Structure 1
Amino acid sequence: MTNARRVLVHPDSDALIGSVAARFITKTIDLLDEFDEINIVLTGGTVGGATQRAVRDSAARDSVDWTRVHFWWGDERFVPAGHPDRNDVQAREALLDALPTPESNIHAFPASDEIPDIDEAAAAYAAELRDAAPHDALYPRFDITFLGVGPDGHIASLFPNRDITNTGAATVIPVLNSPKPPPERLSLTLPVINSSDRIWAALAGADKAPALGLALAGATANEVPVAGVQGRRRTVFFVDQAAAAQVPENLIASTY
C-alpha cells in the first residue's frame, strides 16, 4: 500500500467534519475486524473537537465496539486536571463520555497538579507508551493519528524553528515557552507521530492555506512542522476549499 501524501478537498468545513467522522467510524470497524484492540491518537482544536462531536452524534456510532479502542493524545497543555483548555477534557465532553470505552483505555497526559515537574510528566507518559508497546518497542502500534495544523504549520505542540527533528530517542518532550498559550505543554515527538499507520490531518480556513501549501511544496519540518508528517501507510490531509487554495494540483485526490 502506498504511503504517498494526498489531499481530499471538501466544499466547506461542515462537509469536511462530516466526511472525517464518517470515515473514522468506517475505518475503526474495519480495523477491529483485523485486530483485537486498536490505538487512536486524538487532537484538540476546533476541527478536532467538531469531528469528535460528529462521531458522537452519528447514527453509526454504536456500530463500533469502543471497548476495544485505546485513546491517546498527540499533545497536551500542561495545566491542572479538569482545566477546560486540556485536550482530554474537551475530548471527554465531545465524545469519550458518550462511549463505553473503559477508563483504562483512555491515556491522558499527566496534569500539572498530578506531576508538577514537566520533565517528570513527559517521562511518565513515555513510560505509559512503553508499557502499552509490543515486545521491546517504545510505543504501541498507532492505527490512526489525528492532527490539527496551526496557521504557522505546527502539529501537536511541535512549533516552527524549534529543531523538532533533533529530539534523539525521546518519545515525549516537554515544550517550554510555547508561542501559543499556555507556555508549557507536552508533546509526542515527530518520529512517534510518523510511526502511525495512518495520519489524518484536518484543516479548515484560509489562514491554513499558506502553511499547507509550503508543507506540500518542499518546506522542511523545522520550518513548517506539518511538512514532516508521513504516516507508515497513508497520510491524508482533509481540507476545505479555503485551506486548499495553495495545494499543488497533482496532490489533490478525487477519492480516499
Structure 2
Amino acid sequence: MNHARIVPHGSQEQLAQETSRRVITVLEQAQDERGEATLVLTGGSMGNKVIQAIANDPDSALVDWSRVNVWWSDERFVPGADSERNGVQAADAAQGQLDLEWDRIHPIAASDEMSTAEEAAADYREELATAAEQEGSDSGLPYFDLMLLSLGPDTHVASLFPGREEVTVTSTPVMAVHDSPKPPPTRVTMTLPAINSAERVWLLVAGSAKAEALAAIRDPEATPQSAPGSAVRGTEETLLLVTEDALPGLPQDPEG
C-alpha cells in the first residue's frame, strides 16, 4: 500500500475532527462541480466518531445535505432496528443534525426485510445500478466522491476478511458473506472493484491495537488475501488517516 499517503493525528479526537473537515471540503467541492455529492460510509467506532464530528462541525452548514447521497460499504445482516447495524449506529452518531433527504440515503436491506443475505446483496446491486443509470453510467455503480473505510485489527475492510474468497471476487460489486470471523456471522459487503471505483478512498486507523495491521497493509509483500486493507485505493487519492500510536514516531505529513 505504498501508494497511500499517511496523515498522522495526535489523538482519536483530532483524527475525527480533522477527517470531518476533510469530508466537508470534499462534499462541498463535489456539489460545486456536479450539483450533488456521494459519500460511502463505514462502520466501527472510529467511523462513527467521524460522523458525530461532522454533525457537530459548524462548517457542516457549507454542505447542502439535501444533495448528498449516502451508501454503505457493508452491513450486518440483522433486523433493521438492531444496534449492530452500521446504519443504525451512523444515525445515532449524526443525532439528527444533518438535513439528509431520505430518498438519497441507501441502507442495505435488513434480515426482517429480505429472507437471505444473497437477496439483500442483489437488492443493493439493483439500487446501485439504478443510481448509475440515472447518472448516465452503464458501469453498474454511481460516482463515489469519497469512500470512508475502517481498518480492522486483522487488516479487514468493509466485510472483506483475510484468507476469504470474497476478497478475490471481481464479478459483482456487492455480495453476501457467511460465517464471518467477526460477529455477526452474516453480512453484505461491497467487493474490492466497487470500493476501488471511488475517487477518494480514506482508511481510518486508530489506536495502538491497529499498529500491526497498519504495518501489514504497508508491507510490500502484502496481498489482498493476506491483508485486504492493502488492496484498497482511490482512483485519484488514497489516504491513511492514522493516530500516532498506530504508527509511532512518524512525523506529521507536511501536506496533511
TM-score range, shorter chain: over 0.9
Give the deviation of 1:110 after TM superposition.
Answer: 0.3
Distance 1:96 1:5 in 2: 32
| SS of residue matched to 2:40 | strand
The yes-or-no answer on 1:239 pairing with 2:242 is: yes
The TM-score normalised by the length of structure 2 is 0.94
Distance 2:74 2:182 in 1: 13
The yes-or-no answer on 1:222 pairing with 2:225 is: yes
Structure 1 window deviating more from structure 2 (124-133 vs 18-27): it is 18-27
**Given residue 179 of structure 1, which amino acid in structure 2 is its aligned partner?**
P
* Cα root mean square deviation, aligned: 1.7
Distance 1:15 1:135 in 2: 37
Contact 2:168 2:225 in 1 (8 A): no
The yes-or-no answer on 1:70 pairing with 2:81 is: no
| SS of residue matched to 1:60 | helix
How many residues are paired up?
Answer: 251
Distance 2:155 2:29 in 1: 31
**Given residue 27 of structure 2, which amino acid in structure 1 is its aligned partner?**
T
The yes-or-no answer on 1:147 pairing with 2:146 is: no
Q: Which stretches in structure 2 are left out of the alignment for 5+ residues?
A: none
Distance 1:143 1:85 in 2: 26
- Determine the structure 1 residue equivalent to 2:202: 200
Structure 1 window deviating more from structure 2 (166-175 vs 188-197): it is 166-175
Describe the superposition over 1:190-240 as per-residue Cα deviations: whole angstroms up to 9, x where unpaired.
110000000011111111111111111221111011000111000001001
Distance 2:67 2:56 in 1: 20
| SS of residue matched to 1:132 | helix
**Given residue 203 of structure 2, which amino acid in structure 1 is its aligned partner?**
A
The yes-or-no answer on 1:132 pairing with 2:131 is: yes
The TM-score normalised by the length of structure 1 is 0.94
The list of structure 1 runs, each at least 4 consecutive aligned residues, that deviate by more than 2 angstroms after superposition, is: 163-166
Aligned-residue sequence identity (percent) comes to 39
- Determine the structure 2 residue equivalent to 1:27: 26
Structure 1 window deviating more from structure 2 (92-101 vs 110-119): it is 92-101
Distance 1:95 1:85 in 2: 16
**Given residue 4 of structure 2, which amino acid in structure 1 is its aligned partner?**
R
Give the deviation of 1:96 after TM superposition.
Answer: 6.8
Distance 1:171 1:230 in 2: 15
Describe the superposition over 1:92-132 as per-residue Cα deviations: whole angstroms up to 9, x where unpaired.
12127322211000000000000011111110000000000
Contact 1:66 1:99 in 2 (8 A): yes
**Given residue 78 of structure 2, which amino acid in structure 1 is its aligned partner?**
V
Contact 1:213 1:246 in 2 (8 A): no
1:38-117 matches, cutoff 5 A:
38-95=37-94, 97-117=96-116
Contact 1:164 1:225 in 2 (8 A): no
| SS of residue matched to 2:71 | strand
**Given residue 234 of structure 2, which amino acid in structure 1 is its aligned partner?**
G
**Given residue 135 of structure 1, which amino acid in structure 2 is its aligned partner?**
S
Contact 1:201 1:238 in 2 (8 A): yes
**Given residue 186 of structure 2, which amino acid in structure 1 is its aligned partner?**
E
